[in-house]
Structure 1
């Protein structure tokens, strides 16, 4: 992979890991709280309503602060200027290089996912395809119990709790994982594959 593409990907992953591991409690709490609020709002309202109300709340907050600082400056007869002048002076734009790098990254992930789906659906490896079928079968029951937004909420909570729990109890979790890991999985896999006639046929290059 190109070094210019790898650099922003690593930086992005590092930022996400810092949030998930609560390196900055304020930032992690803010991201988790806002994300949960947004997802819980989508359970009862449409996305247009949620975005409209959220934008209106943000605009009301900035308007109130702008008015408050204006009145305060008038009373104190100070000339501090616009309270958001520091942010207004910052450039907000997407350069072509940034868009190109992220587009290449997304395209690479999509192509990888398509190749993996082709491999599973066309049964390149019998065991992997059977595992995938079992996973899809479980998803049919999950879909009957939960909707997509509920799964996103549970996944978000798990993403912000799982890493920190594992970090604090890594020794016990790893020990439990090794104890429950079944030995001889590779030999069973080879035995099952050997009994299937078409699994011995090599894929044409």
Structure 2
């Protein structure tokens, strides 16, 4: 048996700034998400609050129909097929979406004039945090 010298395997070194940049990017997104959640929880933007409530309700309904892996699979397939379908039928989809949004705005105006405008609103005072 011939004696071999150990081979020189190059060392793989990832620069520390790569991890710093990843951490800064993730931290920024987390702070933005927390700010959005705080605005929804504390805020006076009723439309944003209703969108969050409806989104969570829709997620709960979809979650009751199937398990998590099925939702992930459907999301994966939709993410790869819907953009292609939208490009092909862009005009028809846009017309349909505009019609639906118009109907939703009409329903919101009716709800606002009959119910939401009658809710008394108090003054919100900003507290100074030290």
TM-score w.r.t. the length of structure 1 is 0.47
User: In the alignment, which residue of structure 2 is the partner of 1:204?
Assistant: 126
Q: State the shift of 1:203 in Å.
A: 5.6
Question: d(CA) in 1 for partners of 2:64 and 2:70?
Answer: 12
Structure number with the bigger relative contact order (C-alpha 8 A, sep ≥ 6) is 1
Structure holding more helix per residue: 1
Q: State the shift of 1:92 in Å.
A: 4.5
User: In the alignment, which residue of structure 1 is the partner of 2:50?
Assistant: 130
User: In the alignment, which residue of structure 2 is the partner of 1:181?
Assistant: 101
Question: d(CA) in 2 for partners of 1:155 and 1:134?
Answer: 19
Contact 1:127 1:193 in 2 (8 A): no
Contact 1:166 1:173 in 2 (8 A): yes
User: In the alignment, which residue of structure 1 is the partner of 2:92?
Assistant: 172
Q: State the shift of 1:202 in Å.
A: 4.3
Q: State the shift of 1:190 in Å.
A: 6.2
1:195 counterpart = 2:118? yes
Question: d(CA) in 2 for partners of 1:144 and 1:190?
Answer: 31
Matches within 5 A, 1:150-161: 150-161=70-81
Q: State the shift of 1:149 in Å.
A: 1.3
CA RMSD of aligned residues (A): 3.0
Equivalent residues, number? 116
User: In the alignment, which residue of structure 1 is the partner of 2:19?
Assistant: 99
Q: State the shift of 1:133 in Å.
A: 2.0
TM-score w.r.t. the length of structure 2 is 0.69
Contact 1:120 1:129 in 2 (8 A): yes
Structure 1 gap segments, 5+ residues each:
1-87
